[in-house]
Amino acid sequence: MLGAWTKIAARALEACGETDPRTAAAIAEIYAERRRAAWRLFPEAAAVLTRLRALRIPLALVTNGDARQQRDKIARHDLARWFDAILIEGEMGFGKPDAQVYREALRRLGVAASDAWMVGDHLEFDVGAPQRLGLRGVWVDRAGAGLPPNADVTPHRIVRDLFGMLDE
């Protein structure tokens, strides 16, 4: 990601007449540090994950992105303790919405697609793609805006926060 952010900064700087690649690299480093410092779990995440673990529900964390950054987030927030499987795009070479990542999560958990839920805030990656494999998709609509008028995906459930997963 740092390389991509450096390229973005370099293009922006070039448009302003600045061509020193060290400036672009410095901007990317500062952005990375500030972005990392801003990472937070959703306020209800720990309570919901603790409750799901107490219910002995097998859980997988499926995340896209750079392996180093994602592992840093997982370690900083002690997320691994709640999950039976962690699948990171940067480690696997594929990620959401590739069907392979959902199948691998199901395999690692030892559950059938029909018995699994995928929960997330991206309609296609977290709801549509897994639904095509038989998982139930739950869309987290934190803003409460509802489905976009042109949505191709119909979630099995829409929740405002993760507590909505505990409702029967």
Same domain, 28 and 49: no
134: left (phi over 0), alpha (psi -120 to 50) or beta: left
Same domain, 70 and 23: no
Same domain, 54 and 107: yes
**Structural domain total, the chain:** 2
CA angle (147, 100, 130) in 5-degree steps: 25
Q: In which domain, by residue range, is 17 found?
A: 2-38
pLDDT tens for each residue of 90-126: 999 999 999 999 999 999 999 999 999 999 999 999 9
Same domain, 139 and 121: yes
Same domain, 118 and 158: yes
pLDDT tens for each residue of 34-63: 988 888 899 999 999 999 999 999 999 999
